[in-house]
Structure formats: C-alpha cells, structure tokens
Amino acid sequence: MNMDELTPLFSITAAAELAGMHPQTLRQYDRLGLVSPTRTAGKTRRYCLKDVVQLREIQNLSSQGLNLEGIRRILELESEVQRLSTRVRDLESALADEMLTRSGNRVFAAGTQGDVIPLRAGQRARKSNQVVVWNPLRWALPPTMKIEK
C-alpha cells in the first residue's frame, strides 16, 4: 500500500491528540466543513496527515482571534490559490511543450484594436503611421463657437 499525506490513517481520537484538540471540536469542524475526513464503511472518521496539519492551522488562526467563518474563508482562499498555482504550472508546461514541438510556427503581434495578428518567424508587424489629433477645446465649446478647420 502506498502511503502519502492523503492516506486516511488516524481515528478521531488520534487526530485530536496530534492536533492538540478535543474530539468534539473535530466533529464540529467536520460539520462546518473546515476539515472533511474520509469515512470508513462503518461511517467512522479517518483523518490523514494533511487533515491534522489543517487542524493545527485552524487552531493557530483561532488563537489569533479569527472566528470560524473567517477561518473557513481563509482556508477556502488558500485552497483556491493552490488550485490556480497548479493550473498555471500545468499551462506553463503545456506551453513549453508546444513551443518545443512547433518552434517558429506560433508568433503573434497585437493589433491596434487588441486583436491578435499571426506572424511567421522573423516577420515584423506592420506599424501604423496614422496620426490622430485630439483637441479637447473643440469638444468643450458650444456649437456656435466651433473651431474652423
């Protein structure tokens, strides 16, 4: 059997002792969704090492004066950051793979309207030589006082 930080090993009594809490506190945290241990076929809670670390984090945040709703929100945001970080790493890896397998085929430039212009490797984007003149007074004057061109 492969064991890692997600392997459910600890009973509620053992997890409570490792976290320095009362088992009833763990039951409350489970009801609130702060920590969600796995369940055996007989509905017994089994905590993994990651759960114990999270229980300690909850205890630390609680001792700093945060209420349970604040702690829940912090844990939710930390989980989202972790999920997004993993997604960014996956996308960076996919991009690196794509760049290696299709080198020179995917070069782009940004157009003046924010559009994407595909270019061949070594090709430069054409620059616009148009000049736009803006006169703030022209738009601020009443219609009878328009500036002549």
Q: Is 64 helix (H, G, I), strand (E, B) or coil?
A: coil
Residue 135: which residues within 8 A CB-CB, separation 6 or more? 147
Q: Is 66 helix (H, G, I), strand (E, B) or coil?
A: coil
- What is the pTM for the complete model shown? 0.60
pLDDT at 145: 54
Residue type, 35: V
pLDDT at 111: 75
pLDDT tens readout for residues 16-73: 999 999 999 999 999 999 999 999 999 999 999 999 999 999 999 999 999 999 999 9
pLDDT tens readout for residues 90-145: 999 988 887 777 655 556 777 777 777 777 666 776 766 555 455 555 555 555 55
Pair 25, 13: CB distance under 8 Å: no
CATH 1.10.1660.10 residue ranges for the chain = 1-65
Considering the segment(s) 1-65 as one domain, its CATH architecture is: Orthogonal Bundle (1.10)
Closest C-alpha to 6, from 37, 28, 44: 37
Q: In angstroms, rounded to a whole number, what is the distance separating the alpha carbons of residues 97 and 127? A: 31
